Amino acid sequence: MSNDNICPNSGSSINRRQFLGGCAACAACFAALPALAAEFDEAIAIPVPTEKPRIRLVFTHESPDKATWPNIGFDYGARKRQLTDKLRASCPRVDFLPATVQNRDDAQKLLEADGDVDGYMVYTIGIWTRAPQTIAAAGKPTIFVDDLYGGSGEFLTDYSQVRKKGLKVAGVSSSRFEDVVAAARCFECLKKLRSSKIIQVGQAFAALDKGIFENFGTKVVHLVHQQLDEAYKEADRAQAAKWATKWIRAAKKVVEPSREEIEKSAAMYLAMRKLMRERSAQAITVNCLGGFYSGRITAYPCLGFFQLNNDGYVGACEADLKSTITMLVMRYLVGRPGYISDPVIDTSKNRIIYAHCVAPNKVLGPDGPTNPYHIRSHSEDRKGAAIRSLMPLGEMTTTLEFDTDSRKVLIHQAKTIENVDEDKACRTKLAAEVCGDIYKLLENWEGGWHRVTYYGDHRQQVRNLAALIGFEVIEEA
């Protein structure tokens, strides 16, 4: 079964007014909340990388007295100033360093002087300099941009050639300047990753650590359950009670967990935040099932992960480093939380159901609207506290996994259809209609069970970033 028409390439964007209108009951709960955030302990704030990437912005063109595209006598200087100003205004967290090259020799001299830049953006505003391929061959992350009707011929021929050579180059050929900006922000993402850390509790795989560091520059810090449990025991119970109150009041309903159980979850949240602050980490993943079943931890981290993901950090289930680095990459790239899940495929309805006991309720990011949620027990053992998030329907999603073992990005897209109410399996079950061939998705599944889902059409952003780090993109459906 194939359904190629339900998911146009342009995707869809959530209408915030409709989203908020659909969450009226939930919004009423939030309106009644006191300003609790100011009362919480800010001493355990989590650090965020802020260093800007230094990007050489290279304009390529020949002398204006040449009869070539865009035309003889073209004012290249004015065009370069215009583009530089627009990029700096649109990407304030990227340090652009403009330069001009008119041939291969100029490009080589520039490369020799640029030992410490983080990457290159090559803007072809004229033809034929033969410089873009020289810059790409240096091996640093590079973005080729076609200034339409100026550099098109050289862009088309050079971009296809460098891609065939496997060089780390992404390309933008679009009249929409926002597409250039989106690609440029990949540099910011990569810079942040090189300054970030992931805490993994209760499990260790040296090969995964190495792959994450080699491909992203992100370090993995290993802790044992005892360290998390000690931080949990030391957590301020008064602060935990405030967080429990916040979560309970904001929930559409609380089903199984007692107030005491939710306070235990809040203490676990404070413990994770403390460990992240102490180790300057932006993400944490916990072997939660193994730790809880063995008694090495006495509260599930589900509500803590929910809060971390809502607030702009990463809390990931089951000590899954592949999903954790995926969530951290996308957090920096698109500014939205990921929903890690165990997918279920229903070919009869052309659906994939993303199921898990942790999900955010701020799918557009920390400053976006909220959707309703229930507080439930953890599904498998019917203990602890977890989240059922009732996420927006009728929206495009992008689901993916960065696999550092194979250097692949596994990706598919689907349109949300239903928040499934089914007692079996995990509490949140978001059903979505697959874009493409569901049997291809079913028959060629690889890379483990987990995937991470994002609201919005982020396919091209993922392709851009994959190109800059040399990953192959696998379209799963």
Mean pLDDT of 32-38: 38
What pLDDT sits at residue 204?
Answer: 72
Quote the pLDDT of residue 365. 95
pLDDT of residue 465: 98
Q: What is the DSSP letter of 47?
A: P
Read off the amino acid at residue 286. V
| Alpha-carbon span 231 to 366, nearest angstrom | 26
Q: What are 332-347's pLDDT values in tens digits?
A: 999 999 999 999 999 9
Give per-residue pLDDT as tens, 409-438: 999 999 999 999 999 999 999 999 999 999
Helix H or strand E segment including 354: strand 351-356
For residue 10, is pLDDT > 50?
A: no
Contact 138, 111 (CB under 8 A): yes
Q: Report yes or no: 27 and 69 within 8 Å, Cβ to Cβ.
A: no
Measured CA to CA, the distance from residue 181 to residue 152 in angstroms comes to 19
What's the CA gap between 308 and 110, in Å, rounded?
43
pLDDT at 35 over 60: no
Q: What is the dihedral angle through the alpha carbons of 110, 116, 118, 123, rounded to the nearest 10 degrees?
A: -20
Question: Confidence class of residue 115 from pLDDT cuts 50, 70 and 90?
Answer: confident
Quote the pLDDT of residue 26: 35
Q: How far is 80 from 203, CA to CA, in rounded Å?
A: 51
Q: Is the pLDDT of residue 223 over 80?
A: yes
The answer to whether the CB of 19 falls within 8 A of the CB of 393 is no
Residue type, 38: A
- What single string gives the DSSP state of each residue in 279-308? TT-SEEEE-HHHHHHTTS-SS-SHHHHHHH
Q: What is the pLDDT at residue 44?
A: 63
Given pLDDT bands bounded at 50, 70 and 90, which one contains residue 40? low
| 387 has pLDDT over 90 | yes
Confidence label for 45 from pLDDT (cuts 50, 70 and 90): confident
Q: At what angle do helices 237-250 and 24-31 cross, to 10 degrees?
A: 140
In the chain, CATH 3.40.50.2300 sits at 54-192
pLDDT of residue 19: 47
- Structure-token pair, residue 276: 């992240």
The pLDDT value given to residue 334: 97
Q: Which of 288-297, 359-368, 370-379, 462-471 has the lowest mean pLDDT?
A: 288-297
Q: Is the pTM of this model over 0.95?
A: no
Read off the pLDDT of residues 119-158 as tens digits, 9 standing for 90 and up: 999 999 999 999 999 999 999 999 999 999 999 999 999 9
What span, in angstroms and rounded, lies between the C-alpha atoms of 406 and 427?
31
- What contacts 338, CB < 8 A, 6 or more positions away? 309, 314, 323, 326, 327, 330, 331, 452, 453, 454
How far is residue 343's CA from residue 257's CA, in Å, rounded to a whole number? 25
Mean pLDDT to the nearest integer, 429-449 = 96
- Quote the CA–CA distance of 389 and 433 in Å, as a whole number: 18
Taking Cα atoms as reference points, which of 443, 287, 419, 424 lies closest to residue 354? 419
Residues 70 and 216: beta-carbon distance below 8 Å: no
Work out the mean pLDDT of the chain and round it to a whole number. Answer: 91
At residue 289 the predicted structure's pLDDT band, cuts being 50, 70 and 90, is confident
pLDDT of residue 7: 65
Each residue of 303-336: pLDDT tens digit?
Answer: 999 999 999 999 999 999 999 999 999 999 999 9
More confident residue, 356 or 13: 356
Q: How confident is the model at residue 4 (pLDDT cuts 50, 70, 90)?
A: very low
Q: Specify the higher pLDDT residue, 379 or 468.
A: 468
Q: Is residue 353 helix, strand or coil?
A: strand
Q: What is the mean pLDDT of residues 50-65?
A: 97
pLDDT at position 203: 80
The edge-to-edge listing of strands for the beta sheet with 119-124 is 95-101, 54-60, 119-124, 142-146, 169-172
CATH architecture, domain defined by 54-192: 3-Layer(aba) Sandwich (3.40)
* CA-based nearest residue to 16, from 452, 371, 397, 331: 371
| Angle, CA of 354, 398 and 425, to the nearest 5° | 5
* Rounded Cα gap, residues 468 and 108, in angstroms: 21
| CB 441 within 8 Å of CB 477 | yes
Rounded distance, CA 272 to CA 285, Å?
10
Four-point Cα dihedral 192, 194, 195, 197, nearest 10: 110
Q: Give the pLDDT confidence of 72-103 residue by residue, as tens digits.
A: 999 999 999 999 999 999 999 999 999 999 99
Q: Residue 41: what pLDDT? A: 55
The residue among 56, 253, 29, 216 whose CA lies nearest residue 136 is 56
| pLDDT tens, position by position, 224-268 | 999 999 999 999 999 999 999 999 999 999 999 999 999 999 999
Give the pLDDT confidence score for residue 31 in this predicted structure.
32
